[in-house]
Structure 1
């Protein structure tokens, strides 16, 4: 992971009068847009789910779960379902006792908390798509190294869009944001193609 301040020069070369705190906020916003649209930041994790709630916490100051692409527990594949679907298709889903039935689903009642349905305990393996959190202090190395200029372009465009007389430049902001949007679309299209022999970033977490 790399300190988010490493991307400040990418913003300040385009918006030299930008307050640093504002620039950092817009770096997070631009990085979040890029990660959400291109689904670049993936991680595989193993969380330990314990009773009584049978929930697992994805504990990271720097990241939020955008999507769960795959999950498995006790050898069973789990399907992500939202609360509305569970209420309609399995009205007693909240009333299961731990380990009374095999797990079939995962859901999220709040950000970064994963609930197993029916309730079960044990190791939960999953692959997630992540985005930077609102207060992220660090970003993945690859995001800074490979996409720092793109993020800086978007962040500078956002900074220059703020109606602050010291930095406001709507014409330049529009040009930068158009460039950013085009670059994100290109990256997203490229990332959608299968990547052979891509490295897997994996870590275990225990709660």
Structure 2
């Protein structure tokens, strides 16, 4: 379930009561994006069609952008997530290939919120994704509001209060920003421990 960003306005206005609503909403969106990018907390699965001729598909989750592809399968065949740089090195003609294959091998991203299959193949894609709010999101997942609403509010308020002008309160803005950054580190550690259940290991982010 998605919740409107304006549900978090009170969390910002507590610290910046004179903040214009458009400024506050942008700061809330930016704080939520940063939280998700830094912690990988928003995980979901999606299912959509990949169509010819480009053999691309678009994530269908509202107001979301793909941060990382954890795993994917096309027509029940597993795909390997690869970066554009890896494909350029190991499959140098992949961008100019026009023939549609019966089976895809790799999945990559050429544009935000889209996926591309290599070699070109079409069909039903199922993917496990790590997401963040899109640049124009007007909603965020309910769990972000319920579990991290105060933290997002502090991050947003901190950013607002560090903007030179009538709202400028550098001491309070810096304190709120520092508290938000500290919370991001805690959430990231908790998320990683929840994944592995034990010792943390470094894992590359491909997208």
Q: Helix, strand or coil for the counterpart of 1:17?
A: coil
The residue aligned with 2:109 is 108
Q: Residues 180-205 of structure 1: CA distance to partner in whole angstroms, max 9, x if unpaired?
A: 11111111111112269xxxxxxxxx
Alignment of 1:24-173 (within 5 A): 24-59=25-60, 62-94=63-95, 95-100=97-102, 102-164=103-165, 166-173=166-173
Give 1:154 shift: 0.4
Q: Residues 124-172 of structure 1: CA distance to partner in whole angstroms, max 9, x if unpaired?
A: 11011111111111111110011000000000000000001x2100011
Q: Residues 19-38 of structure 1: CA distance to partner in whole angstroms, max 9, x if unpaired?
A: 11111111011111111111
Give 1:60 shift: 5.2
Q: Residues 14-57 of structure 1: CA distance to partner in whole angstroms, max 9, x if unpaired?
A: 11111111111110111111111111111101111121111101
In the aligned structure 1, how far is the partner of 2:61 from the partner of 2:44?
12
Are residue 175 (structure 1) and residue 172 (structure 2) matched? Answer: no
Contact 1:61–1:135 under 8 Å retained in 2: no
Contact 2:66–2:130 under 8 Å retained in 1: yes
In the aligned structure 1, how far is the partner of 2:194 from the partner of 2:144?
19
Are residue 191 (structure 1) and residue 196 (structure 2) matched? Answer: no
The two structures have a TM-score, normalised by structure 2, of 0.89
Q: Where does the alignment leave 5 or more consecutive residues of structure 2 unmatched? A: 197-207
Contact 2:9–2:24 under 8 Å retained in 1: yes
The residue aligned with 1:10 is 11
Give 1:76 shift: 2.3
Contact 2:46–2:60 under 8 Å retained in 1: no
In the aligned structure 2, how far is the partner of 1:96 from the partner of 1:83?
17
Give 1:59 shift: 4.3
Q: Helix, strand or coil for the counterpart of 1:109?
A: coil
Q: Where does the alignment leave 5 or more consecutive residues of structure 1 unmatched? A: 197-207
The two structures have a TM-score, normalised by structure 1, of 0.89
In the aligned structure 2, how far is the partner of 1:72 from the partner of 1:34?
28
Contact 2:106–2:118 under 8 Å retained in 1: yes
Give 1:74 shift: 2.6
What do you get for the CA RMSD once the two structures are aligned?
A: 1.5
Give 1:61 shift: 5.5
